[in-house]
Amino acid sequence: MLFPETALADYSPTMSAVVPAEWSTHRAMWVGFPSHPDLWEQNLDEARREVVGLIRALAGPGAEHVKVMTATPEAEETARKSLVDVPNVTIVPGDFGDIWLRDTGPIFTSPGEAVAFRFNGWGGKYDLPGDADVAQQVARHAGAHLRQVDFVLEGGALDHDGSGAVLTTRQCLLNANRNGRQTEAEVERQLQAALGATSVHWLEEGLMNDHTDGHVDNLARFVGQSVIACPVSFGEDDPNADVYDAVATSLATFRQRDGSPHRIVRVPSPGRVLIDGHVAPASHMNFLIANAAVVVPTYDDRRGNLAVEALEQVFPGRQVIGLSSRALLTGGGSFHCITQQEPA
């Protein structure tokens, strides 16, 4: 939805700088390191191996300076030992409840400017000590000025094209467990003032059993100035088949500033992925765009290869790498969820 002039006429806050697209050059990439055994239980070691694999891909083929945030002395020691041979990695001792830095960290609008929203544990589901302070910690280490916004929002709820267009879902941003019952127009004004959003493309529902209430980084992503990727169902028992079709239908109606449609790229989904007998919110859309690579979460089957092949078509200048993320999925997310980029 484009912001109508009449809706903005009486709106006083100065418009923010636009959030850069994720494919813009990064100064650094932040990664959360699994630190609390009580949260990960028997999956801790494997989750750490998956994160170490991600960091190696980012610091190597991805051409990133990786800042790894740890929350305990034991986790810091483990990270240092696991990454001792990896260049371009900085270990940053910090304080967080869990590793989902995309949601708890700041959103950078430039190398020296970042925005922090209120964090309420995804609508009050998971209130962990330290999470509300992650944005301040990251901004302090980055030397960025941090602007506080009195609005509940997680970074994974939005995707940006670098020119002011934003993708999101009504299930999340209009959920009463975030900011009460605000209207679309009220939320759009918040996004314009805080993040320079010039248009908001609203999708409806997110993935089944996604505790984030439908974060868009599991659902649809900008992969170029006029290109959006979204899943297509895989297998007759794909639990999100209807959701994916609804997303593709909605995306086809979205328009760019010049009125032209976006090119929609359908990426094979992981299909039905079970964790402890329950459908998990597994998504290849939770990929991470690095300076010279794209890292795609996979879930231990050939479907990940199909997703990698599809994304290679839209990222010809980057190496597309599929890495296992099944242990991370037991915590509810994947590679995009545990990272946050600093723009150059």
The candidate with the shortest Cα–Cα distance to 155, out of 100, 111, 113, is 100
Residue type, 250: S
Structure tokens at 71: 């929350």
Q: How far apart are CA 69 and CA 34, in angstroms?
A: 9
**Catalytic residue selected from 135, 228, 241, 337:** 337
Q: Is 230 a catalytic residue?
A: no
Structure tokens at 246: 């609804």
The candidate with the shortest Cα–Cα distance to 337, out of 224, 229, 247, 218, is 218
Q: How far apart are CA 47 and CA 51, in angstroms?
A: 6
Tell me if 282 sits within 8 A of 267, measured CB to CB. Answer: no
| Burial per residue of 270-290, b for 16 or more beta-carbon CB atoms within 10 angstroms, e otherwise | bbbbebeeebbbbbbbbbbbb
Specify the DSSP class assigned to residue 133. Answer: G
Match 């030397």 to its residue by tokens: 143
Active site residues: 337
